[in-house]
């Protein structure tokens, strides 16, 4: 039912909704109302015979014939096509949702696998690169420097750990490239990370984070800055059971600290 049919005033109902010509209420042959939209049509616009009008004007339950104006008939004709398009659109939406769920699941599985792989790694910064042209000498230099650095934080033998520089070689005056160090186990990596505060530059050793973890850590740092700027005190980022969180310093016990 159209809005204009429902909200029409008594005066406007005496005019044809198509040509706006005033009808004669005393002559029912001149007007008829659409059973769907309730719009009034005059004799020149509805194209019905007097007999057909009398049938449509029956008010008893026996009347099963309905009168539809041209617009409503057109809509009814297009309805099957509209319903088909609606069903096709519904199927497409369901397929997109299914695909989205599958992609989200796949991304989650990939993220978990990537975190498990990186859990035994650490990233070491600020170790000068060897100027030797010999690859083996470069590797020996990096291995010795990393071993010396790690001995300063905990008793872990990393002489046989795998390691390699991240990124393409740079000019001699460029900052040294970070070193990815693959230790024997996750426990060794956690031990190094927990004790890196013993170094004069704790930031020279970091966890090997996935892109998603780095993005989340960036968000936490921004959130921490906002909270500190708003006047909140004694808050910092701590790793609790391997996960970074914004916490109050005073509520952490020594066993909980992991930074």
Mean pLDDT value across residues 127-151: 92
Question: pLDDT, tens digit, for every residue of 13-68?
Answer: 467 888 877 655 555 555 778 888 888 888 777 777 777 777 766 655 455 667 78
What share of the chain has pLDDT > 90, as a percent?
43
Question: pLDDT, tens digit, for every residue of 202-230?
Answer: 889 999 999 999 999 999 999 999 999 99
Between these two residues, 43 and 243, which has the higher pLDDT value?
Answer: 243
User: Is 111 within 8 Å of 212 (Cβ atoms)?
Assistant: yes
String of DSSP letters for 119-148? TTEEEE--PPPP--S-HHHHHHHHHHHHHH
Question: Residue 4: what pLDDT?
Answer: 43
Question: Quick one: fold of 3-68?
Answer: Herpes Virus-1 (3.30.40)
Domain 119-208 part of CATH 3.40.720.10: no
Question: Rg for the chain (alpha carbons), in Å?
Answer: 39
Identify the helix (H) or strand (E) that includes residue 239. strand 235-240
Q: Return the closest-CA partner of residue 28 out of 10, 5, 46.
A: 46
Task: Give the global pTM.
Answer: 0.58
Identify the three-state secondary structure at position 23: coil
- The answer to whether the Cα torsion of 163, 157, 117, 203 is positive or negative is negative
Question: Residue 49: what pLDDT?
Answer: 77
pLDDT at 69 over 90: no
Question: Residue 24: what pLDDT?
Answer: 58
């Amino acid at each position: 039912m159209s809005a204009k049919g429902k909200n029409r005033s008594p005066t406007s109902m005496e005019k044809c909704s198509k040509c706006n010509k005033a009808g004669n209420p005393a002559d029912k042959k001149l007007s008829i109302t659409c059973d769907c939209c309730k719009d009034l049509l005059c004799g020149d616009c509805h194209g019905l015979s007097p007999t057909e009008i009398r049938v449509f004007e029956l008010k008893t339950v026996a009347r099963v014939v309905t009168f539809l104006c041209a617009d409503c008939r057109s809509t009814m004709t297009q309805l099957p096509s509209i319903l088909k398009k609606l069903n096709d659109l519904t199927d497409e939406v369901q397929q997109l949702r299914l695909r989205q769920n599958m992609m989200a699941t796949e991304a989650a599985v990939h993220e978990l696998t990537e975190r498990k792989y990186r859990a035994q790694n650490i990233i070491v910064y600020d170790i000068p690169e060897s100027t030797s042209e010999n690859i083996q000498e470069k590797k020996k230099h990096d291995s010795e420097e990393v071993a010396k650095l790690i001995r300063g934080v905990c008793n872990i033998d990393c002489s046989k750990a795998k390691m390699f520089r991240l990124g393409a070689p740079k000019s001699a005056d460029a900052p040294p490239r970070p070193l990815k160090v693959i230790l024997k186990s996750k426990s060794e990596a956690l031990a190094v990370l927990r004790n890196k505060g013993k170094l004069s530059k704790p930031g020279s050793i970091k966890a090997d984070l996935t892109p998603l973890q780095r993005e989340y850590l960036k968000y936490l740092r921004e959130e921490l800055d906002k909270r500190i700027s708003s006047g909140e005190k004694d808050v910092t980022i701590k790793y609790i059971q391997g996960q970074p969180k914004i916490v109050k310093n005073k509520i952490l016990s020594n066993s909980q600290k992991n930074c």
